[in-house]
Amino acid sequence: MKKLVNDPSDYVDEMLEGMVAAYPDRVRRLDGTKVLVRSDAPVDGKVGVVSGGGSGHEPTHAGYIGDGMLDGAAAGEVFTSPTADELNEMVRACDAGEGVLCVVKNYEGDVMNFDTAAEMAEMEDVEVAQVVVNDDVAVEDSLYTSGRRGVCGTILVHKAVGAKAADGGSLEEVQAVGEKVIDNVRTMGMALTSCITPEKGEETFDLGEDEIELGIGIHGEPGTERTEMMTADEVAEHLTENVLADLDPDDGDDVVSIVNGMGGTPLSELFIVNRKVQEILDDRGLETWDAWVGDYMTSLDMMGCSVTVCRVDDELKELLGAAVDTPALKR
Amino acid sequence: MKKLVNDPSDYVDEMLEGMVAAYPDRVRRLDGTKVLVRSDAPVDGKVGVVSGGGSGHEPTHAGYIGDGMLDGAAAGEVFTSPTADELNEMVRACDAGEGVLCVVKNYEGDVMNFDTAAEMAEMEDVEVAQVVVNDDVAVEDSLYTSGRRGVCGTILVHKAVGAKAADGGSLEEVQAVGEKVIDNVRTMGMALTSCITPEKGEETFDLGEDEIELGIGIHGEPGTERTEMMTADEVAEHLTENVLADLDPDDGDDVVSIVNGMGGTPLSELFIVNRKVQEILDDRGLETWDAWVGDYMTSLDMMGCSVTVCRVDDELKELLGAAVDTPALKR
């Protein structure tokens, strides 16, 4: 196994230690947990915004902790939900009395544990609301998921709800913004190679030398089809067309696009994909208000990418464009 | 070959088109070249700061174009120097009458072509100065290089000279800041896997399943030794100790550290390496003033990392901490 790792069972623990060592003024770890929170959490007068999920998707979620985005992020083991107890601790640590919004990716374990955590926190008089992100258009119901999976669109939810909370929005208003992004964001991904989890040390699924998988999930869950190697333009076209078919935008709509790397694909290739994505959006009469290109929601060392399109109105532009100061996203 | 690519001979061209499509308000391409410059270049009253080199190291260099960093970046073909003609065009496009500093990584082709470009620009009355970055402590003289190679420390040079130029520094002052960073920065890298260039489509060098290469260059140039797989802590220790032995800092010195990914290694692993790097710096009585963790100077899809340490005084802290607004680095 070709990884920069010590004992694989310490992978998440040591990754979190490395994050705190990198950003000691920004984040702190809740004792005895895999939860990171803003060093100044809870932030007075502000709704708390938290997320979490299995590790292996870095910089998701802890990389987005900071002003204008997340107050806390709970890490599970690789591709495994955080426990309800740890989620509850996070929610309580991020509550300044204004309530806490949980941004949940739609996986059964995450949904169940966030639900339980919310019940636990509410028993201690913390007001909790939730949004569940399900932006992946590839498949309905999958390994780990009823309904659609939550993938890279989650980052736009983090950004918008974080900005609304920073702007003094109430819990209800912050939640409404999250729902609005979810209603308007769609994603589809593909893999050139399988990821390799540190514990297992070998490929999660087999792909032939000339084979790729379309519609793949961020844990290597099956996609829509295996096919022969495609060009970057063909990949961009397949993903973008599927996303747009589902989103069904109107001519002249403003959108934010994301070409997201899966972890093992270099940035140069993502720009080659973005070239075609922008051409397609333009041909469809859509206006790209902002284009993101980079590794936002990864799957360990998997090679591949996803394409996200989010329709934005003036409110979402203001929130997505607002100042943010986190390790992984600044503006 | 598992890459998101169309015709491999269009790799750099299409990557640049994809960058311009992502950041149309930030960068523009000089017609008929592989040069990107700030959309508002030349910037009145400011020394121009430019860099360039072979492609395959993204986000280096064009990702660092923007306020407080680079005015222009010339891309060569993959791992190949830009031509002197294109470098000359870039220098002229970024000169507002205050002169232009060229930040050159120490590779023979780059040095030669930047020298020729400077002569050409000077004949047209553009004042040109140069700094040559040679931060790689691994080897003296290598494939493509006399002396030491220029690697990830280059990004700190970009940042400091860009800030000095934005602050109204003269060409001589901006150059002096570049020399100061170069005097104080050291790097060493390693590879878990070879990179694969799009034109060749196969591994540049062979590494066995349980083998890694220490001291590798960013084009796969030979390093100091091949060895059996090491743990993340052992890798961190080997690289950091070599860097510190060469830099020879004093107890209590302030430093900036970079754990840089080579392109194919996920961020989670870089944090695991950073954990140990910070422990070593701390044990050595050094104060980490700022820790960078991410992909700054890559080698296509190579798995591996490098460790950079830069000693910083008050002047460098101010410059490295100054506001910057580029696609790849913001603060």
Say yes or no to pLDDT of A1 above 90: no
What per-residue confidence (pLDDT) applies to B222?
86
pLDDT digits (tens, 9 = 90+) for A243-279: 999 999 999 999 999 999 999 999 999 999 999 999 9
Contact B4 A305 (CB under 8 A): yes
Contact B266 A63 (CB under 8 A): no
For B100-131, the DSSP string reads EEEEEES-HHHHHHHHHHHHHHHHTT--EEEE
pLDDT digits (tens, 9 = 90+) for B114-127: 999 999 999 999 99
The stretch B101-115 carries a mean pLDDT of 98
Contact B275 A18 (CB under 8 A): yes
Handedness of CA A39, A42, A47, A52 (dihedral sign): positive
Contact A271 B3 (CB under 8 A): no
Q: Which of B3, B233, B271 sits opposite A6 (nearest CB)?
A: B233
| pLDDT confidence bin for A43, thresholds 50/70/90 | very high
Say yes or no to pLDDT of A25 above 90: yes
What per-residue confidence (pLDDT) applies to B166?
98
Q: Which of B57, B61, B158, B238 is catalytic?
A: B57
Residues of chain B with Cβ-Cβ distance to A298 below 8 Å are: 266-267
Contact B272 A4 (CB under 8 A): yes
Q: How far apart are alpha carbons B173 and B164 in whole angstroms?
A: 8
Contact A271 B22 (CB under 8 A): yes
Residues of chain B with Cβ-Cβ distance to A193 below 8 Å are: 2
**Buried/exposed code over B62-74 (b: 16+ C-beta within 10 A; e: otherwise):** bbbbbbbbbbbbb
Residues carrying CATH 3.40.50.10440, chain A: 11-184
Q: For residue A255, which of A232, A233, A277 has the smallest C-alpha distance?
A: A277
Say yes or no to pLDDT of B236 above 90: yes
Contact A305 B192 (CB under 8 A): no
Q: How far apart are alpha carbons B5 and B1 in whole angstroms?
A: 10
Among B272, B293, B329, most A C-beta atoms within 10 A, so best to mutate, is B272
pLDDT digits (tens, 9 = 90+) for B261-302: 999 999 999 999 999 999 999 999 999 999 999 999 999 999
Average pLDDT, chain A: 97
Residue of B nearest to A267 (CA): B58
Say yes or no to pLDDT of B140 above 90: no
**Inter-residue contact A303 to A171 (CB < 8 Å):** no
**Inter-residue contact A237 to A280 (CB < 8 Å):** yes
Question: Which pair of structure tokens corresponds to residue B225?
Answer: 């030794």
Alpha-helix residue ranges (DSSP H) falling in chain B: 11-22, 84-93, 108-123, 153-166, 171-184, 232-247, 267-283, 314-321
Residues of chain A with Cβ-Cβ distance to B18 below 8 Å are: 270-275, 278, 293
| pLDDT confidence bin for B233, thresholds 50/70/90 | very high
Q: How far apart are alpha carbons A17 and B275 in whole angstroms?
A: 6
The minimum CA-CA distance between B23 and chain A, rounded to whole Å, is 7
One-letter amino acid identity for A104?
Answer: V
What per-residue confidence (pLDDT) applies to A147?
93
| pLDDT confidence bin for A142, thresholds 50/70/90 | confident
Q: How far apart are alpha carbons B228 and B190 in whole angstroms?
A: 12
| Whether complex ipTM tops 0.90 | yes
pLDDT digits (tens, 9 = 90+) for A59-106: 999 999 999 999 999 999 999 999 999 999 999 999 999 999 999 999
Residues of chain A with Cβ-Cβ distance to B291 below 8 Å are: 21-23
The minimum CA-CA distance between A210 and chain B, rounded to whole Å, is 8
Contact A55 B268 (CB under 8 A): yes
Contact B264 A269 (CB under 8 A): no
What per-residue confidence (pLDDT) applies to A222?
86
Residues of chain A with Cβ-Cβ distance to B63 below 8 Å are: 267
| Domain range B11-184, CATH class | alpha beta
Residues of chain A with Cβ-Cβ distance to B331 below 8 Å are: 330
| Catalytic residue flag (residue A61) | no
SS (H, E, C) A83-119: CHHHHHHHHHHCCCCCCEEEEEECCHHHHHHHHHHHH
Looking at chain A, the number of H-run helices and the number of E-run strands are 8, 12
Q: Which helix (H) or strand (E) element contains residue A28?
A: strand A27-29
Q: Which of A57, A61, A158, A238 is catalytic?
A: A57
Q: How far apart are alpha carbons B298 and A41 in whole angstroms?
A: 35
Among A193, A268, A278, A305, most B C-beta atoms within 10 A, so best to mutate, is A268
| pLDDT confidence bin for B142, thresholds 50/70/90 | confident
Among B1, B3, B4, most A C-beta atoms within 10 A, so best to mutate, is B4
What per-residue confidence (pLDDT) applies to A246?
98
For B216-239, the DSSP string reads --TT----SEEEE---HHHHHHHH
pLDDT digits (tens, 9 = 90+) for B296-321: 999 999 999 999 999 999 999 999 99
Question: Which pair of structure tokens corresponds to residue B2?
Answer: 């598992």
Q: Which of A61, A158, A219, A238 is catalytic?
A: A219
Residue of B nearest to A270 (CA): B4
Fold observed for domain B185-321: Hypothetical Protein Tm841; Chain: A;domain 3 (3.30.1180)
| pLDDT confidence bin for A140, thresholds 50/70/90 | confident
| pLDDT confidence bin for B143, thresholds 50/70/90 | confident
- Give helix B153-166 / helix B314-321 axis angle, nearest 10°: 90
Q: Which of A4, A273, A301 sits opposite B305 (nearest CB)?
A: A4
Average pLDDT, chain B: 97
Question: Which pair of structure tokens corresponds to residue B11?
Answer: 């790799």
Contact B265 A59 (CB under 8 A): no
What per-residue confidence (pLDDT) applies to A143?
82
Residue of B nearest to A289 (CA): B22
| pLDDT confidence bin for B145, thresholds 50/70/90 | confident
Contact B4 A279 (CB under 8 A): no
**Inter-residue contact A89 to A81 (CB < 8 Å):** no
| % of chain A residues with pLDDT over 90 | 96
| pLDDT confidence bin for A141, thresholds 50/70/90 | confident
| Catalytic residue flag (residue B61) | no
| pLDDT confidence bin for B141, thresholds 50/70/90 | confident
**Inter-residue contact B278 to B257 (CB < 8 Å):** yes
Residues carrying CATH 3.30.1180.20, chain B: 185-321
**Inter-residue contact A60 to A155 (CB < 8 Å):** yes
What per-residue confidence (pLDDT) applies to A315?
98
DSSP structural state of residue A228: E
